[in-house]
Structure 1
Amino acid sequence: MDFLFLFLKDFVIQLQSPTLGFLIGGMIIAALGSELVIPEAICTLIIFMLLTKIGLTGGIAIRNSNLLDMVLPMIFAIIVGVIIVFIARYTLAKLPKVKTVDAIATGGLFGAVSGSTMAAALTLLETQKIGYEAWAAALYPFMDIPALVTAIVVANIYLNKKKRGTASDATMQESYSKQPVAAGDYPSTRQEYRSQQQDTKDHRVKIWPIIQESLRGPALSAMLLGLALGILTKPESVYESFYNPLFRGLLSILMLVMGMEAWSRLGELRKVAQWYVAYSVVAPFVHGLIAFGLGMIAHYVTGFSLGGVVILAVIAASSSDISGPPTLRAGIPSANPSAYIGASTAIGTPVAIGLCIPFFIGLAQAIGGR
């Protein structure tokens, strides 16, 4: 009962917060056919400002904290990012009318992190005056990059196996139609073997370019820049006078844009299997609960705060809306963007922001005895 009360209280607070209010407002005006357009250049600047601020916060905290305290949460963040991809590979991919490669891409996007969802969680934690390690935001890349890399590698391995299987079937059928050769004379067999070996090398998945592509993405670049500046320099003056005061206002504008985009993506989601809708509602809670459980282990072992556990759970519940889509488009070009982007933006993000954030905050408060 305590948990239900706390969840409902936090849910009401979240409904009244500008974060979710602007998200819902964006969906409503898009549904009404509004022609409001926020220029892409402004959105890019807002994203840069928000994630640079989060990076600076984490960098400053890392500079002033014990690095050993960060090791276990970082390891858990990596594990969760990888697990989420395999959950999609062996659940969503098994459902009717769902293509395996689309399911893997969806898992990669849900395993990657939404900077805007994380920013919304940080804002609500501060509103509720729930303490957390400032460096907890730095867990972002430790979940984001492994998820994207795992998704692209798993998808390419699957596609290569499928391609080789198709080629083997064709070769076998062709061999049946040929006349038998003399004993000991196997020139075509050797040539085919060498060709298959070369084809395997040509299609081998290269992991480092995937990591480079992720690091060059606008979201991670901004966050890692802020992180590095926070660790290596002393940016407290510009942080307090410029980045921190603008944070919530800029976040509200981004939520408005995301709401409008979420509504537009609903049309794309109707074109693919309806199982994506069910997955997009259930998966954020499942992913978040896995991360919450691992976070509680870190809480009891290293003293990781309950607020930090919430952040770990929320970034696991989130799905990438900035860096993930272009990375997956390039890494898994055969996957259908209407499936994985529609599932993420139209349903996954509103569920993560509107339901998962108050859910995990309420769960942490119930455990903490508040």
Structure 2
Amino acid sequence: MQSLLDPAILFFALGVFACLVRSNLEMPVAISKFLSIYLLMALGLKGGFALAASGMTPSVVSSLGLAVLLAVVVPLVGFALLRRFLSGFDAAAVAATYGSVSAVTFVTATQYLESQHIAYGGYMAAAMALMESPAIILAVMLANAQRQRLAAAATPAAAPVLAMAMPGTGGGAMPAPRAGPGGPGLSIGKILHESFTDGTQLLLLGAMVIGLVTGDAGKAAMQPFSGDLFKGMLCLFLLDMGLATARNLPAVRKQSPWLLAYAVLGPLVHASLALGLAWMAQVPAGDAVLLVVLAASASYIAVPAVVRYAIPEADPSLYVSLSLGLTFPLNIVLGIPLYTQVVQRLWGV
């Protein structure tokens, strides 16, 4: 219960309440964007400062390696399950959403750990960055495979039409099909470029490099900005996220029971997988919590932005409403304290 009295969580609840009672409270778009930029910049700097202090120790390498492994396994397992009750395109999009990560959930988890006086490696911000793109790339590859299967299945039916269009038959020349923005001709290189040059990724990684290069001197200089202001800025951002979450609740109610079950149980399964891997690799307790939180989170910004372009056949209402309207608030309010308590008991801290 004490974890629910954290100011950041309470501001999130205030945002949800304000929207539900139809208050005119809202966050200007420019302010919301500024808060997002600030949090990513501060998080990247903290990660860089921590990495400068610790160096690339075996613990750091182990944590980052597990992050990459989870980023590949989670979307593949998710797709295999979702394919049973969704189309291939929708399954790929939802799997990418739940295989990627939420920066705001991660930031909230770091603040919770600090409030509980649990140490964690700031370099875990690099783990978050590494976990964002693999799910997107895998989803695009799965969607392209689905398009090729559909094209192969349609070929026999198209044969008579093609025969009529052959020279000398009187038929006109049939133009070759063109791949749309999400078609089979979509370049994985372009998706990689979109992923790694996305503003959020670039800012996070760039700030991390700056923190790594400047070290202790940079940390002391930036403390009033990236340290003292951080909690207040997070509260404002979670207030805005509470408003956005409540606005997505009507779309959540329209989803099938199977999808609602996945949005609740899927993150718990992903968290359990991360917990087991972290325990076997003897990852420090704080890092283990953050790995579990990242595995349990779902992207509602980066993945939808890319997937809408890369997999236009998928229904955006599925992956956006589920991740933002259901999984995000469950992780923020209940998930983070739960995962922390489980790790504390298993690690004996």
Q: Which amino acid aligns with 1:248?
A: K
Q: How does 1:326-345 map to 2 (within 5 A)?
A: 326-345=305-324
Structure 2 counterpart of 1:104, from 82, 89, 92: 92
Distance 1:31 1:347 in 2: 15
Cα offsets for 1:210-230 (capped at 9, x unmatched)? 121122323212211211111
Q: How does 1:51-200 map to 2 (within 5 A)?
A: 51-69=40-58, 70-95=60-85, 98-166=86-154, 168-172=155-159, 174=161
Q: Name the counterpart of 1:4.
A: none
SS in 2 for 1:33: coil
**How much has 1:93 moved relative to structure 2?**
2.3
Check if 1:295 corresponds to 2:283: no
Q: Which amino acid aligns with 2:82?
A: L
Q: Name the counterpart of 1:41.
A: 30
Q: Which amino acid aligns with 2:87?
A: K
Q: Name the counterpart of 1:281.
A: 264
> Does the CA-based 8 Å contact 1:102-1:335 persist in structure 2?
yes
Check if 1:242 corresponds to 2:225: yes
**How much has 1:173 moved relative to structure 2?**
5.7
Q: Name the counterpart of 1:209.
A: 190
Distance 1:272 1:127 in 2: 36
**How much has 1:158 moved relative to structure 2?**
1.4
Distance 2:214 2:193 in 1: 25
**How much has 1:247 moved relative to structure 2?**
0.8
Tell me: CA distance 1:327–1:238, structure 2 relative to 1, closer, same or farther (3 Å): farther
**How much has 1:42 moved relative to structure 2?**
0.8
Check if 1:222 corresponds to 2:203: yes
Distance 1:231 1:208 in 2: 28
> Does the CA-based 8 Å contact 2:147-2:184 persist in structure 1?
no
**How much has 1:39 moved relative to structure 2?**
1.0
> Does the CA-based 8 Å contact 1:213-1:327 persist in structure 2?
yes
Q: Which amino acid aligns with 1:347?
A: L
Distance 2:41 2:79 in 1: 33
Q: Name the counterpart of 2:170.
A: none
Q: Name the counterpart of 1:5.
A: none
TM-score, normalisation: structure 1: 0.85
**How much has 1:71 moved relative to structure 2?**
2.3
Q: Name the counterpart of 1:257.
A: 240
Q: Name the counterpart of 1:185.
A: none
Distance 1:174 1:217 in 2: 43
Cα offsets for 1:240-289 (capped at 9, x unmatched)? 12111111111111111111111111222334433221111111111111
Q: Which amino acid aligns with 1:136?
A: M
Structure 1 counterpart of 2:12, from 14, 18, 23: 23
Cα offsets for 1:121-157 (capped at 9, x unmatched)? 0011011111111212210111111112112221222
Q: Which amino acid aligns with 2:336?
A: I
Q: Which amino acid aligns with 2:276?
A: G
SS in 2 for 1:334: coil
Distance 1:13 1:104 in 2: 38
**How much has 1:64 moved relative to structure 2?**
2.3
Structure 2 counterpart of 1:309, from 288, 292, 312: 288
> Does the CA-based 8 Å contact 1:52-1:222 persist in structure 2?
yes
**How much has 1:172 moved relative to structure 2?**
4.5
Gaps of 5+ in 1: 1-11, 182-190
Distance 1:158 1:238 in 2: 52
Distance 1:137 1:296 in 2: 20
Distance 2:69 2:185 in 1: 24
> Does the CA-based 8 Å contact 2:68-2:131 persist in structure 1?
yes
**How much has 1:205 moved relative to structure 2?**
4.3
**How much has 1:51 moved relative to structure 2?**
1.2
Alpha-carbon RMSD: 2.6
Distance 1:224 1:239 in 2: 17
TM-score, normalisation: structure 2: 0.89
Report % sequence identity: 29
> Does the CA-based 8 Å contact 1:319-1:349 persist in structure 2?
yes
Q: Which amino acid aligns with 1:295?
A: A
**How much has 1:204 moved relative to structure 2?**
4.0
> What number of residue pairs does the alignment pair up?
339
